[in-house]
Amino acid sequence: MIGNRKLLLLLGVAASKFSGKALTFGDVKILDISVKKSWNSSRVSEVLARVSSRLGKPPQYVVSDGSSVLCKAIRVTLVMFIF
């Protein structure tokens, strides 16, 4: 949180960087930083879709803290790219 606002940070690692070895900070890129008073799955999904569109493809893997808001947003966003 930043004051009364919440930060959504999207980090990315190129799939080609993963070779079974530990990742380093140099492998990770900041894809997006967004701040809102509150987040719901729709807002998170919009950010995920925007970043995926900018990159030209959806993520191959997603890691989150398991919050229901994030999980729903991930499911919705991935379905948009499949169909």
Radius of gyration of the chain (CA): 13
Compare 28 and 17 and report the one with higher pLDDT. 28
Q: For 57-68, what is the mean pLDDT?
A: 87
Does 81 score more than 70 pLDDT?
no
Q: For 5-18, what is the mean pLDDT?
A: 89
Does 46 score more than 70 pLDDT?
yes
Least confident range of 34-38, 42-46, 76-80: 76-80
Name the percent of the chain lying above pLDDT 90: 55
Compare 83 and 55 and report the one with higher pLDDT. 55
Assess contact for 80 and 51: CB atoms under 8 A: no
Which among 10, 22, 11 is positioned nearest to 46, based on CA atoms?
10
Q: Quote the DSSP letter at residue 26.
A: G
